[in-house]
Structure 1
Amino acid sequence: MQGDQHRQHISGQFNAELDAMKNHLLEMGGLVEQQLGRAMSSLLARDSGEAQEVVRADQQINEMELQIDEECSRILARRQPAASDLRLVLAVAKSTTDLERIGDEATRIARQATKLSELPPSSGTTPEFRLISGHVGNMLRQALDSFARLDVARAIEVVLDADAVNAEHDAAMDSLLRLMKNDAGSIDGVVHEMWALRGLERVGAHATNIAEQVIYLVRGRDVRHMKPGELQSLLKVDKR
């Protein structure tokens, strides 16, 4: 099921409020996606200047969260939405929280980049970081796109991708542990990289949460505890 499934209302103002709320979520998502990309760029390049720009921009994300929360609360209080409209408001509210937390993770990664810029360069972990950062960045992009299009099939694919990110996280963590074991001088840097790696794993989890909200919004199904096989079955039904 794709497309905007929400009914049009006699009140054009209500339609406008719902559209604005959703559009503001997607605008916030675009900024968060940009922040994540810049944080990873600063980490890989150990660029403290770019890292500080990421940290400073975090306040804008926080302000957008407050704005969207206020919109959701106002709609709930004044419009008392039901059925799919209520699911939309709840999905936007919950996804806004996940986006704000991704912004927090981007800020934490940027702070690790600043600390790493003060240490001697290490070797051997860049490929793993590029792999997982590209993966979670794509998950976030696809989750936001599935929300914009109300595309359940794409949302399910994001949820199914979570296990691969977890495996990449574990493999990268193993690489960092080996590096620390073989080179005692790398310990300080490895600790900062571990914190950054943990942040990337959390970004993947929050992107998954957003995709799950899309599925709930469109299909009314809570898939948070579904097994992969059940999700695959749901995906096949949606692609018919």
Structure 2
Amino acid sequence: MPDHTSRQFDQELESVRGRVLEMGGLVEAQIRDAIDGLATANRELLTKVINSDHRVNSLEVMVDEECQHIIARRQPAAGDMRMVFTVIKTITDLERIGDEAVKIARMSSNLFDANRVQVPRFNEIKHAAEVAISMLRKALDAFARLDAVQAASVVKDDVQLDEEYHSVLRQLITYMMEDPRTISSSLEIITIIKSIERIGDHAKNMSEYVVFMVKGKDIRHLSLADVERAAMSTDE
């Protein structure tokens, strides 16, 4: 491949990588605004989350089209093909994270529309959301720096988030049993905490793609110990 063509190819890959990080920043802001809107009963913030969904969707379509053009024009091989594959898979998970943030915003609006201002287990929900946001950030940072070890750490964080999700779920079930008047609000909170757990799942998926991109190893469905070994391995 001539040098100028190679440089153009590198620029195209860098462009789509930048778009992925831009999209990641947007969905992180959506999550934060949704949780802040829930905490403060800020309807404008919740509406902002819902209205920003089209920007995330547009970016997904744009990056997907760019990747398809790269495949058609450049016919990338080996590591470059893994990069393009990772981008395509990652933007799908980012779009779904955005959908979960919108769901949180809609459920929060429902709570306030029904004047159910008291949000049970909010501190636990906020902490779970911070864990999910941290996982997203780490996955994006690992993608940007091609860091398989950091990507593998996100898989470990997902175990913690799952435990927090099940803990809040048990608490809310007890809450509903003790006071049936809280059933409606508790069910909406369960939807919110489930969306947070799903955000963590998508961040975990993204981290798995990074390990595949860097190491050429498919770590889906492996034990945590095997994931960490694959990330630290020197053979590709």
TM-score class, shorter-chain normalisation, is over 0.9
Residue of structure 1 equivalent to 2:77: 82
Maintained 8 Å contact 1:46/1:116:
no
Q: Flag structure 1 segments of 5+ consecutive residues without an equivalent.
A: 1-7
Whether 1:51 and 2:46 are equivalent positions in the alignment is: yes
Deviations 1:93-136 (A, max 9, x none): 00000000000000000001101112233354012101100100
TM-score of the superposed pair, with normalisation by structure 1 = 0.92
Q: Distance in 2 between matches of 1:223 and 1:92?
A: 17
Residue of structure 1 equivalent to 2:155: 159
Give 3-state SS (helix, strand or coil) of 1:221's partner. coil
Q: Distance in 2 between matches of 1:137 and 1:67?
A: 24
Could you tell me the percent identity over the aligned residues?
37
Residue of structure 2 equivalent to 1:3: none
TM-score of the superposed pair, with normalisation by structure 2 = 0.94
Residue of structure 2 equivalent to 1:202: 198
Residue of structure 1 equivalent to 2:221: 225
Q: CA deviation at 1:145?
A: 0.5
Give RMSD over aligned pairs.
Answer: 1.5
Q: Distance in 1 between matches of 2:4 and 2:176?
A: 61
Residue of structure 1 equivalent to 2:33: 38
Give 3-state SS (helix, strand or coil) of 1:36's partner. helix
Whether 1:93 and 2:119 are equivalent positions in the alignment is: no
Maintained 8 Å contact 1:65/1:100:
yes
Q: Distance in 1 between matches of 2:104 and 2:195?
A: 7
Q: CA deviation at 1:180?
A: 1.2
Deviations 1:126-183 (A, max 9, x none): 1210110010010001100000101111100001211111100000111111111112
Q: Distance in 2 between matches of 1:225 and 1:35?
A: 29
Residue of structure 2 equivalent to 1:137: 133
Look up the equivalent residue of 1:84 and give its one-letter code.
G
Q: Flag structure 2 segments of 5+ consecutive residues without an equivalent.
A: none
Give 3-state SS (helix, strand or coil) of 2:219's partner. coil
Label 1:55 to 1:145 Cα distance change in 2 as closer, same or farther (>3 A): same
Give 3-state SS (helix, strand or coil) of 1:161's partner. helix
Q: CA deviation at 1:233?
A: 2.8
Give 3-state SS (helix, strand or coil) of 2:221's partner. coil
Give 3-state SS (helix, strand or coil) of 1:223's partner. coil
